[in-house]
């Protein structure tokens, strides 16, 4: 073992505030993991001559985390850089069988995981947060999702803090659906993406088939004021089928985003009715049709088991240093939501609509949980329907 790795292992528990948050140590995580579970925290380490990214792997019974060297910024930029405008081809290339992605992003972790491990709680930082780990494929064509249930978390310290919500069946079935939004400007390629348009009424019909109570906000009624006028804590499911974007994006940000990575110096938001497509400056708590991550955290009080963000790039956030990424996912978690389904890239409308049809059908089966419904659906569309990584990998379940 190299001196660098030995030093890091000695420092291991102190490498990230996420594992030491509020006095919580990795040793506490070890105690609470079950024999079939592992926790993996991917860290971005700056300075000291270290490589950029490491993974801390924690297994029940281990005295300390294993430290795995991951790809550095240069390697990851080379992996993800692609100026092609063909998004499906670009993403399928990243997740191709025996690609460089597996070597940089999972091979080292895979080597230290015991065969008994089936569930991995995964927290990623930097460019790694934009990866669909379940879609990564090794040399034999076996994808990570074939072997492990990947449970994305803000931080693995949530295990020790016991803030991870246990899986449960949604029984009361009260849903709020927002979609088919009427914006204040016409759509054009330069203003809004041509994907991510699954409509609220479409989802509403799926919910009603399951004999669940639903409230639908669509077209001009899908406003911030309409949301504010509802008892949002009464809903088990909240589904946003609208456009997602980032504030203050520059041409460089747009170029950067095509590399499947994160946005810099901007904030994630959802577009609601009457939003101005050209708006650059966002005023907090204003009826501008722009629902930002900050507004969600500051003004929303939720109790939903699940929020679905059927909007492009809704799982991506902006860098907050050692605290990881801040975006819509963390915002909804802070507001009281248990689990979030979000997207890593501009997903295809038709495929997303199909996925949601299968997902909600599975979700409302007796004894089904959000996790089981999502994983069953993802496995079905990939193995039975032959979907590509671009078609299914962009949808992720965040715990």
Gap between the terminal Cα atoms of the chain? 34
Short-list 397, 385, 328, CA closest to 152: 397
pLDDT at 242: 82
**In the chain, where the domains are located:** 3-161, 174-398
Is residue 38 within a helix (H) or strand (E), and if so which, with residue range? Answer: strand 37-44
Quickly tell me which residue has 């949530």 as its tokens.
158
The answer to whether the CB of 317 falls within 8 A of the CB of 268 is yes
Q: What CA–CA distance (Å, rounded) separates 377 from 392?
A: 10
Short-list 149, 99, 126, CA closest to 41: 126
φ/ψ (deg, to 5) at 269 = -155, 165
For the chain, how many residues are written? 399
Quickly tell me which residue has 């592992």 as its tokens.
38
CB atoms within 10 A of CB 314: 33
Transcribe 111-158 into DSSP letters: HHS-TT--EEEEE--GGGGG--GGG-B-TTS-BHHHH-EEEE-S-THH
Fold designation for 174-398: Rossmann fold (3.40.50)
In order along its 399 residues, the chain shows pLDDT tens digits of: 445 445 555 554 445 444 444 334 567 788 888 999 999 999 887 655 556 888 989 998 887 788 898 988 888 888 887 667 788 999 999 999 877 899 999 999 999 999 999 999 999 888 888 899 999 998 788 899 999 999 998 888 777 666 666 677 776 678 998 877 777 655 433 334 433 444 556 676 767 766 678 888 888 888 888 898 999 999 999 998 887 776 654 444 444 443 334 444 457 788 888 765 544 444 555 567 888 888 898 889 999 999 998 865 555 544 444 344 447 888 898 899 999 998 888 888 788 888 988 999 899 888 899 999 999 999 999 999 999 999 999 999 988
Q: What CA–CA distance (Å, rounded) separates 96 from 246?
A: 29
pLDDT at 223: 86
CB atoms within 10 A of CB 16: 25
Q: Which long-range contacts (CB under 8 A, 24 or more apart) does 57-60 make?
A: 57/109, 57/112, 57/113, 58/26, 58/29, 58/30, 58/33, 58/156, 59/30, 59/33, 59/113, 59/114, 59/117, 60/30, 60/31, 60/33, 60/34, 60/35
Q: Print burial letters for 255-282: b (CB count within 10 Å at least 16), e (below 16).
A: ebbbbbbbbeebbbbbbbbbbebebeeb
Structure tokens at 256: 């950067």
Structure tokens at 205: 């019909």
pLDDT at 305: 92
- Helix (H) and strand (E) counts in the chain: 16, 16
pLDDT at 164: 65
The answer to whether the CB of 242 falls within 8 A of the CB of 176 is no
């Amino acid at each position: 073992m190299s001196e660098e790795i030995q030093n890091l292992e000695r420092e291991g528990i102190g490498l990230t505030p996420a594992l030491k948050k509020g006095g919580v140590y990795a040793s506490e995580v070890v105690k609470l993991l079950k024999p079939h579970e592992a926790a993996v925290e991917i860290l971005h380490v700056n300075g000291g001559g270290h490589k950029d990214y490491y993974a801390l792997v924690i297994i029940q019974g281990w005295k300390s985390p294993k430290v795995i060297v991951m790809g550095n910024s240069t390697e990851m930029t080379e992996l993800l850089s692609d100026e092609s405008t063909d998004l499906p081809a670009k993403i399928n290339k990243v997740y191709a069988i025996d690609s460089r992605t597996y070597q940089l992003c999972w091979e080292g972790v895979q080597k230290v995981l015991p065969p008994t491990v089936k569930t991995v709680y995964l927290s990623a930082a930097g460019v790694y947060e934009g990866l669909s780990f379940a879609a990564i494929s090794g040399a034999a064509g076996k994808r990570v999702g074939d072997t492990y249930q990947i449970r994305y978390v803000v931080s693995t310290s949530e295990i020790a803090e016991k803030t991870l919500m246990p899986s449960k069946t949604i029984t009361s079935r009260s849903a709020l659906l927002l979609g088919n939004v009427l914006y204040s400007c016409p759509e054009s390629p330069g203003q809004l993406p041509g994907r991510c348009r699954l409509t609220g009424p479409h989802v509403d019909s799926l919910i009603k088939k399951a004999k669940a109570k639903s409230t639908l906000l669509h077209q001009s009624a899908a406003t911030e004021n309409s949301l504010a006028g509802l008892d949002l804590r009464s809903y088990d499911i909240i589904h946003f089928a609208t456009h997602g974007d980032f504030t203050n994006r520059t041409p460089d940000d747009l170029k950067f985003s095509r590399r499947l990575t994160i946005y810099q110096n901007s904030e994630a938001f959802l577009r609601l009715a009457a939003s101005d497509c050209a708006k650059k400056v966002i005023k907090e708590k204003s009826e501008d049709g722009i629902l930002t991550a900050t507004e969600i955290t500051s003004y929303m009080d939720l109790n939903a088991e699940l929020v679905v963000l059927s909007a492009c790039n809704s799982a991506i956030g902006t860098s907050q240093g050692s605290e990881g990424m801040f975006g819509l996912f963390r915002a909804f978690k802070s507001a009281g939501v248990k689990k979030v389904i979000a997207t890593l890239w501009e997903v295809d409308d038709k495929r997303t609509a199909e996925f949601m049809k299968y997902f909600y059908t599975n979700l409302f089966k007796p004894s089904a949980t959000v996790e089981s419904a999502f994983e069953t659906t993802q496995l079905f569309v990939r193995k039975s329907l032959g979907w590509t990584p671009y078609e299914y990998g962009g949808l992720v379940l965040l715990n």
